[in-house]
Structures are given as C-alpha cells and as structure tokens.
Copies of this chain bind each other. A is one copy, B any other.
C-alpha cells in the first residue's frame, strides 16, 4: 500500500446544525402518530468527523457523550487510512447539487487500482478460488476491500468498529502460511468478511446501537458464526452499523447516527443489517453476516441490490449475539449472509455446515448442507406469486418485477400460479406481540440506562405495545399456541395449492415482494408484512436483485391505485413517486419450505436462469 498524502474527510464539515429537524420527517412521523423523540438528559457538543449529524433529518445523535467518544475513535482508526478516502467532496443531501451525489455507490472505488477494482467487483466464490490457487494474496484482497470500506464509511456511515490493521496482519499470516505450506487454512482463506455490530467478535466492542452497551461489551470470544468463519480463513477488519434495538428495518442509532443507501442517500439502506448492505453495495466487503427476525437480512439486501438469505431457525449457528430479550425464544431470529451472488449464499452455508456447528452449539440441527446443484428439482417448477398481501399493495416497480419474473418463468416452461395471501394482518398483530412480550420494558430500560432517547423507528415499533403491561406467562403460552396455529394454517394453505397446479403437487416456492416499497426515504418504514410473515412461519427466504428503478422504462406509476384499505396502505400509496426512488435497486424474494434452504437456492438458480441473469463464471474477472 502506498503512503499517500493525508486527505481530510470530505464529510468533516457536516457536523453542524444538528438540532434542526426537517418538516418532512415530522410530517412522516405525525402521519402515523407515533414517531417522536425523547430528549436525552445529557448532551455534549457534536463531535467532529462523524457523519451522524450530516443529514438534517436525523436526530442529534452525535451529541451523546458515548457518540462523541465512539465516533472520535472510529475517526482515529479511519484517519490512518485517509489516503484511501474519497477525494470527492459530497455535499449534504439538502445542499445545492446534492442531487448529483445522491448515488455515491461508485465513489468508494475512486482510489482503487484497476486490479483492486477487479477484486472488489468479484464475488466471494471467485475470490476464494483465486486465493486458493495463489492467483491473489490475502493482503491484496483485504487491502482492496478495506480501501473501499473506508471510503464507503465516508459516504454511507456504515461502519462501527474499524480494525483494518488487525485484518491486514491476519491476511499477512494467511499469506505466509500459504507460501510456507502451499495450502489454504480453510475454504475462506483470505476472504474479508464484515460482521454486524451485535455479533460477538473477540476483542472488539459490541455496542449494538445502544449507548449504554458501548465499551461494556467487548467480546471475550467469538460468536459461533465468527469462530467458524475465522477457522475457515476469513479476515475480519470492520464491524457494521445496526439500529437501536435491532427491531427496525432501517439503520439509525444514537452512537453513529443514520446509515445511508449508497444508490440514493435520501433513502434508507434497510435494516437492521443496514451497515452490511451499504458496505457491500459499496464494494467495501464481499460478504457480510447479518441477522433477521423480521426482515433484517432480506430488507437491507433487497434495498441495496444484494443477495441475502434468512434460513430456518436452527439451520445456521446463532450463539454469541448480543441483543435485547436474551433468552426469549417465542420468536427467534436467524444469522445469515449478505453477498453479491446467489452462489455466495451457498458458500457461506456450506462453510458453516462443514464445521459441524451442531458440535459447537446445541441449537443447530445436524442437517449437513447439501450442494444445491445436487438437489433434484422437478423439471417443471411451479411457483406461486404473491402479488399483494391484502394489507399494503407493493409499489408499481415491484409489481412489474413480479410480472417480468412470471413471464420469464413461463417462457422457460415453468408454471406460475397466484398465491392467495393468508392473513398478513393477523400475522402482524401476532408477531408484533411476540416482539414485545414485555411491553417494551427492556428496550425502554436499556435506553434509560444509556441515557439516550428512542430513535423514530424505535418509537414506532414500541408504539405497538403502547400502554400494555408485560404478558403473564400464561398469556405467552396462549400466544405460542396462536403462533403454532398460524403456522399450521399456512402449512395447510401451502399444501392446498396442489389442487391448483397442473402437476397436482403443491407449489415449490413462493415468489413475492420483499417489502411494499423500494428503499424508502429515511424513517418512513411502516409495513413489515412481506418479510416478517416468513419469520413467523419460519420459512427460508432469499432475496435477489432484478434491476434498478433508474434503468427501467415502461409505464410505471401510471396505474390508478385502488382505494387504500387502511392507514398504512394510505401512507405507503402516498409515498409513490418514481423520482423519490430514483436509482433504487429492485429486488424480489423467493420463499421455500421450512428447512429446505438448499432447494430454495437451487430454485433461485433456475429462476435467475429464466430471467436471463448470467450466472457467475467459475473464475474471477481479475
């Protein structure tokens, strides 16, 4: 790496005026009558160098003493690599010419060499292949992604803990090992992997978006997933932002502020694994580890044009995460990968399985991962399309993407039928109770302990338990029964599709939106029903990109919307304006039967072939 001249962070000037609140956010918030801000009791001067306060729409996160300290430390770690930071000065979103910089996704590549661009544009599968052949070194690969990661942080605010030297040191060790032995240490030898903040990574803090946890949660050991990745040869160099409470499909907390969507900074990158999605979309990581209890892998992957897999509970290791409600297992989240190709999702799961995680962690089922290419699929798949969940219809580009996919599948000889939505509103009433069994008490206590206010999305979700006490255990047993009854209904509903297919078999998968909108303006997420439904069912869901709004022609938005069926749909309908979502990725979701992750990925492969998306070649483009 070259000893380049230190460049001041282009975002250093963005830390003023932090107490402004835009009319727009207030409007959005007041529409559903929930978003509001507690006033933190203790505020310091905003910190220099952070991006958290760059967007006027965000609360004054930078002012919390913990935020000051954490952002200062992050900046110190980044400043050692100022020569990697973007030379382009990115204006504030509301400034003149800001529109020219809504899409910042390519800026992180500016300092990369041609070779490095080749590296960061490759998927993980190609990279580990090249690393294993000795065609690339771990230091080369780590350097390329770290360079992009530093710049990605500057334009999207996606990172929390930054420890690039540690990553480079590990990469050097791996290279030394390879040179000495001619062998890789494992299937991910030399691959940089980014880790969501709330996942334990030995020696690093696990603030998890809570000011009260920062500096109190330095991990003494790795989470199981991290341990397996580490033993497989992965290189760790950054942790990534997650929102306060984790129970949010956006990414905003009082330590680091808001994370931005690199394709349009006016839009959310998704959450809760939004640091991951922003980073990977900026080529700052080839593969990241997220978690999903209501969409937190799939939503950010979709809104940033990536691949993301939420498996069934118990399929992948899950021990070693920090989060609220530890020990609550009425509804359980999943660890899973975000990546740039479908085959990388398979790679991640295969590596997990090969480590015999069931010998490390009681909860993991001993179900060895099968190679999706070895899965025998029916020659003629039957896919059901969920067009509209009956609560909030998706925006036009999503419906169009479903139509395109249906046509492509049929052209390829597959069958497509409609999926009749089954009680998506009921699912939400139930799962939102399961999320907040204690009435939100533990969340609120954690905020009080950390002397911080609730960010808008926290207020919104906690509003679902407004004025409700914690359930008694008898009530939670009743809710468990309702959950099991719901799962039974959906299972029977799926089985019943056999009556409507030409084969007489139930459908193989469900194709559906990931959310009713593309990546939306910040703090405006109001409906989880296309993602959290599958958490309640515990079905695996994979999301995949099909395009970008800016690249599509046609008559989007010309259809007359129906009368809104409820306040949420009314709000979401009113959001639709193609200009709002300029350049936003368009993605879809494929949902499979419980514990059929391999079959799901095999079907995604067939679907992508039908869509004409070129499968990744077996060797890298480097």
Contacts and interface: CB of A to CB of B under 8 A. Distances in A.
A169 interface: no
Nearest to A482: B327
Q: Which of A327, A538, A596 has the most CB of B within 10 A?
A: A327
A362 B474 contact: no
Contacts of A484: 319, 327, 362-363
A429 interface: no
Contact of A476 (B319, B358, B441, B473): B473
Interface residues of A, number: 41
B365 A327 contact: no
B365 A595 contact: yes
Nearest to A486: B362
Given A326-B481, A476-B473, A480-B329, A495 B359 contact: yes
B366 A479 contact: no
Nearest to A325: B477
Contact of A366 (B441, B480, B487, B595): B595
A430 to B, nearest CB: 13
A472 interface: yes
A473 B433 CA distance: 13
Nearest to A441: B474
A554 to B, nearest CB: 40
A328 B362 contact: no
Nearest to A595: B366
Contacts of A537: 362
A319 to B, nearest CB: 8
A358 B487 CA distance: 12
A231 to B, nearest CB: 15
Interface string A418-458: 00000000000000000001100110000000000000000
A111 interface: no
Contacts of A488: 319, 361-362
Interface in A580-618: 593-596
Nearest to A537: B362
A478 interface: yes
A367 interface: yes
A537 B361 CA distance: 12
A491 B359 contact: yes
Interface string A295-320: 00000000000000000000000010
A527 interface: no
Nearest to A360: B491
A477 B326 contact: yes
Nearest to A491: B362
Contacts of A479: 327
Interface string A357-392: 011111101110000000000000000000000000
Interface in A334-376: 358-363, 365-367
Interface in A472-518: 472-474, 476-481, 484, 487-488, 491, 495
Contacts of A481: 326-327
A32 interface: no
Nearest to A494: B359
A476 B473 CA distance: 8
A473 B359 contact: no
Nearest to A480: B327
A76 interface: no
A438 B365 contact: no
Given A329-B480, A480-B327, A596 B366 contact: yes
A362 B477 contact: no
B480 A474 contact: no
A328 to B, nearest CB: 5
Given A327-B479, A366-B593, A481-B326, A472 B470 contact: yes
A402 B88 CA distance: 76
A477 to B, nearest CB: 3
B327 A477 contact: yes
A442 to B, nearest CB: 7
Contacts of A437: 473
A471 interface: yes
A596 B441 CA distance: 40
A71 B533 CA distance: 48
Contacts of A442: 474
B474 A438 contact: yes
Given A363-B484, A437-B473, A478 B358 contact: no
A243 to B, nearest CB: 22
A324 to B, nearest CB: 10
Nearest to A489: B362
A537 B537 CA distance: 26
A537 B362 CA distance: 9
Q: Point out which of A361, A474, A537, A538 has the most chain B C-beta atoms below 10 A from its C-beta.
A: A474
A321 to B, nearest CB: 12
Nearest to A367: B367
Q: Which 4 A-B pairs have the closest CB atoms?
A: A327-B477, A362-B487, A327-B481, A327-B480
Interface of A: 319, 325-329, 358-363, 365-367, 437-438, 441-442, 470-474, 476-481, 484, 487-488, 491, 495, 537-538, 593-596
Given A327-B480, A328-B477, A358-B595, 9 more contacts: A327-B476, A329-B480, A358-B593, A361-B488, A361-B491, A363-B484, A365-B365, A438-B473, A476-B476
